[in-house]
Amino acid sequence: MVNQDLKKGEMGAWISIGAYIFLSSIKLVVGYVGESNALRADGLNNLTDVVASIAVLIGLKIAQKPADENHKYGHSKAETIASLVAGIIILSVGLQVIYSSFQLFLNPINSRPDLYTAFVGLFSAIVMFFVYRFNKKLSKEVGSKALYSAAQDNRSDALVSIGTVIGITGAYFGLAWLDPATAAIVGVLICITAWGILKDAVHELTDGFEANQLNEIESTISTTPGVKFVKEIKARLAGNQPLVDATIFVDSSLSVSQSHEITEDIENRLSRQHNIKYVHIHIEPY
pLDDT, tens digit (0-9, with 9 covering 90-100), for 106-144: 776 666 788 898 999 999 999 999 999 999 999 888 878
pLDDT, tens digit (0-9, with 9 covering 90-100), for 60-87: 888 778 777 888 777 878 888 888 888 8
Q: Are 49 and 102 found together in one domain?
A: yes
pLDDT, tens digit (0-9, with 9 covering 90-100), for 195-249: 988 988 888 888 888 889 899 999 999 999 999 989 999 998 876 778 899 999 9
Q: Are 147 and 228 found together in one domain?
A: no
Sheet with 241-250, edge to edge strand ranges? 227-238, 241-250, 278-285
User: Which conformational region is residue 72 in: left (phi greater than 0), alpha (psi within -120 to 50 degrees), or beta?
Assistant: alpha
Predicted pLDDT of residue 65: 82
Number of separate domains in the chain: 2
The range of the structural domain enclosing residue 238 comes to 211-285
In the chain, what is the greatest distance between 2 CA atoms, to the nearest angstrom? 87
pLDDT, greater one: 48 or 273: 273
- 49-66: average pLDDT: 83
pLDDT, tens digit (0-9, with 9 covering 90-100), for 141-154: 887 878 888 898 89
Predicted pLDDT of residue 242: 86
Specify the CATH number for the domain of residue 260: 3.30.70.1350
Using the predicted structure, report yes or no on whether residue 1 has a pLDDT greater than 50. no
Q: Are 27 and 80 found together in one domain?
A: yes
Q: What does the mean pLDDT of the chain come to?
A: 85
